[in-house]
Amino acid sequence: MSTDFLADDLDRPREACGVFGIYAPGMDVARQTFFALYALQHRGQESAGIATSDGRSAYLHKGMGLVAQVFTEERLKPLKGHLALGHNRYSTTGSSHLRNAQPYLIESIYGPLGVGHNGNLTNAGKLRKQLLERGVGLSSSSDSEVIVQMLAAPPVSPASLKPDWEDRIRSFMHQAEGAYSLVILTRDAIFAARDPLGLRPLCLGEVTSKDGRKGFVIASESCALATIGGTFIREVSPGEMIRLDRNGMTSLVGVEPKRATALCVFEYVYFARPDTLLEGQVIHSVRQRLGAMLAQQSPVSADVVIGVPDSATPAAIGYAQASGIPFSEGLTKNRYIGRTFIQPDDQLRKAGIHLKFNPLTANLTGKRVVLIDDSIVRGNTMGPIVKLIREGGAAEVHVRISSPPVRHPCFMGIDMANQSELAAHDMSIDQIRLHIGADSLAYLSHDGMMRAVAGVRRPGAGHCSACFTGKYPLGLDVAALAGETEKHSFESMWGQEA
C-alpha cells in the first residue's frame, strides 16, 4: 500500500496480522469488531475485513488500507448477525493485493466458512500441492487460503461427510506446521485455534449486551477486549480449540503440545501494544525491565535519555530509572503521516525521517544523549535519526538497543527481511555504529532479554528467539523456505532461556 515508504523508513519488523472473533446475541457485532480491529491496527496496516453471520447467511466487506479507511457506517450496516470475524493484515506469504486480504469467506457444502489467520505455515507449499493434486482450485498466493480449503474440502472419509467442523479443524491442526492463531466463522459458531507451540498470541474474553446477555470474544491481544468493554478471561492455550455458540464457550483439545511452547519474544520487544496483557504480564512493564537491564549491561555517561517514539518509550523510561539519568522527550512524532494514501514527491522523500519525526531542540542542545530503540533490522533508519538528534543540538549520541542484534530471518509470520538485508548479519557492532554515525552503540544481551521477559513462567513455557540466535523452535527446511539451494540445519532452542 502507499504507506510502505513510511514502514521502510521506520525499519521495523512487521507483524503478520491481527484477528478477532465474537459471538454475542443482542449486540451489533460488526461495530464491535470494527473497534476491536481499530485497537489491533498496529498488527497489520495493509488491509482489513469483517465477515458476519446471522445463522442463515454470511456477509463480508474487506478492502486495502487502514480500518478507518476500509469501513464507513454505510459499509458496516449490511454486516448483519450475531457472529463476526475480523482481520487486519500485513502480508508475509502472499503479496499486497485485495485477493489476499482477509477474512476469506466461501460457501461450503455445510454453509458459509470464513477464516482469519495470524502466522505462517512452514509447510504451506506441501499442503498447497496436496490440494491442487486433489483438484481444489486456489485463487491467491496466501497460505491462509490453503487453510480455508483444507477445512472446506478435506480428503473424502466417513468423517469428512459429516458437518463436523471440530473434526475438520482438528485434522488441519495435525497436518499444519508453523505458526497459526485462527478465528473461524461458520453459520452458527465461532471457532478459534492456536498452534501447539503458541508462536502467535491469542486470548479469550467476555462481553455483555444491554439486555444482559453474555457473549464471548477471541482476539490477538487483550487490548482489543478493553476497547469494546470486554473482560479478559485467559489466553487460548497452545494446541487448544475453542467453540463459541449458543451453548457458550467450549474448550476442546485440538492437538497435544509435544514440546515446550515458543511464544515469539518480539511480542514483548515491539509487536504487542503496551497495555496488552501477555503471559500474566503487562507489556509496558516488561519493556521497562528490558530498558533497566540494558542500563545495567551498557551504562554510559550522559545528560538525558530519550526513546524513539512510541515503541521505545517504555524501555527508555526503564533505562533512565535504572541509570539515574533523566528521561525526556527528544523527538516529536507526526502521528497522522501514516494515515494517508498520498505518496510523497521526490523532494519530500529526500526529507526522509523528517516526515515522521522532528527534534525537540530545547531538550537536546548541548546534551549528551542516550537514544533508546527496540531493534535495528536493516539499519537504514537509525542513521537518519542519529543525524536528526545531532541537528537538534546534541553534543553526543549514544545508541542503546533493548534487544540483541537481529541476525536471522523469521519463518513464523514476521517480516524480518532477508538474511542478507539484516545489518547485524554481516556487520560487527562497531561497523554498525560507524554506519549509523553514533558515538557508541550497545545491544541488550540475549540472556538479559530472556531474563527480563521471563515473568510468570508456566511449566513447559518458552519463547522463540530464532531471529536473534538462529535456533528455530521446530525442524525447518530453512533453505527451501529462504529460497536457497543449500540446506541448513539449526539446533533446537529448548533449554536456552535463563
The average pLDDT across 340-354 equals 64
Grid cell digits, residue 415: 517480516
More confident residue, 477 or 254: 254
The average pLDDT across 354-375 equals 94
Q: pLDDT value at position 184?
A: 98
pLDDT band at 337 (very low <50, low <70, confident <90, very high): low
Q: pLDDT value at position 141?
A: 74
Residue 495, pLDDT > 50, answer no
Q: pLDDT value at position 466?
A: 92
Residue 493, pLDDT > 50, answer no
CA distance 405 to 306: 20
The average pLDDT across 319-324 equals 98
| Residue carrying the nine cell digits 525521517 | 353
Nearest in space to 304 (alpha carbons), one of 375, 437, 397: 397
More confident residue, 419 or 486: 419
The b/e string for 331-361 (b: 16+ C-beta within 10 A; e otherwise) is beeeeeeeeeeeebeeeeeeebbebbbebbe
One domain, residues 326 and 210: no
Residue 402, pLDDT > 90, answer yes
The average pLDDT across 348-356 equals 72
Q: What share of the chain is helix, strand, coil (3-state, %, to 5)?
A: 35, 25, 45
Residue ending a domain, among 225, 259, 293, is: 259
User: Is the separation of the CB atoms in 58 and 47 below 8 Å?
Assistant: no
User: Is the separation of the CB atoms in 366 and 393 below 8 Å?
Assistant: yes
One domain, residues 331 and 436: yes
The pLDDT tens digits for 301-316 are: 999 999 999 889 999 9
* Of 111-125, 180-194, 384-398, 414-428, minimum mean pLDDT range: 414-428
The pLDDT tens digits for 46-104 are: 899 999 999 999 999 999 999 999 999 999 999 999 999 999 987 554 455 676 789 99
CA distance 121 to 127: 9
CA distance 282 to 317: 15
pLDDT > 70 fraction of the chain, expressed in percent and rounded: 84
Q: Is residue 444 part of a domain?
A: yes
pLDDT band at 484 (very low <50, low <70, confident <90, very high): very low
One domain, residues 124 and 215: yes
Report which residue type is found at 1: M
Q: Are strands 440-443 and 396-401 parallel, antiparallel or unpaired?
A: parallel
Q: Are strands 178-185 and 104-108 parallel, antiparallel or unpaired?
A: unpaired
Domain extent for 121 = 9-259
Q: Is residue 432 part of a domain?
A: yes
Residue ending a domain, among 259, 277, 301, is: 259
Is-catalytic flag, 17?
yes
Residue 460 forms beta bridges with which residues? none
One domain, residues 250 and 322: no
Residue 426, pLDDT > 50, answer yes
Residue 132, pLDDT > 50, answer yes
pLDDT band at 371 (very low <50, low <70, confident <90, very high): very high
Nearest in space to 64 (alpha carbons), one of 84, 85, 43, 49: 49
pLDDT band at 355 (very low <50, low <70, confident <90, very high): confident
CA distances from 444 to 293, 319, 325, 370, 409 (A): 7, 11, 18, 14, 19
One domain, residues 114 and 186: yes
One domain, residues 245 and 298: no
The average pLDDT across 184-206 equals 97
CA distance 445 to 438: 19
One domain, residues 57 and 179: yes
pLDDT band at 290 (very low <50, low <70, confident <90, very high): very high
Given 17, 223, 264, 410, the catalytic residue: 17
One domain, residues 24 and 150: yes
Q: Is residue 390 part of a domain?
A: yes
pLDDT band at 498 (very low <50, low <70, confident <90, very high): very low
> How many domains are there within the chain?
2
Q: Is residue 114 part of a domain?
A: yes
One domain, residues 51 and 94: yes
One domain, residues 252 and 306: no
Q: Is residue 280 part of a domain?
A: no
Q: Is residue 451 part of a domain?
A: yes
User: Is the separation of the CB atoms in 51 and 102 below 8 Å?
Assistant: no
Q: Is residue 478 part of a domain?
A: no
At 443 the three-state DSSP class reads strand
* Of 136-140, 214-218, 273-277, 282-286, minimum mean pLDDT range: 136-140
Residue 467, pLDDT > 90, answer yes
Grid cell digits, residue 345: 514527491
Q: Is residue 480 part of a domain?
A: no
Q: pLDDT value at position 415?
A: 66
CA distance 74 to 179: 35
CA distances from 429 to 95, 291, 408, 418, 441 (A): 33, 19, 15, 19, 7
CA distance 450 to 270: 14
Q: pLDDT value at position 440?
A: 98
CATH code of residue 38: 3.60.20.10
Q: pLDDT value at position 246?
A: 96
The pLDDT tens digits for 20-58 are: 999 999 999 999 999 999 999 999 888 999 999 999 999
Mean pLDDT for the chain overall: 87
CA distances from 331 to 119, 174, 295, 337, 480 (A): 33, 48, 21, 15, 42
CATH code of residue 302: 3.40.50.2020
Q: pLDDT value at position 339?
A: 53
One domain, residues 355 and 248: no
Q: pLDDT value at position 304?
A: 98
One domain, residues 187 and 71: yes
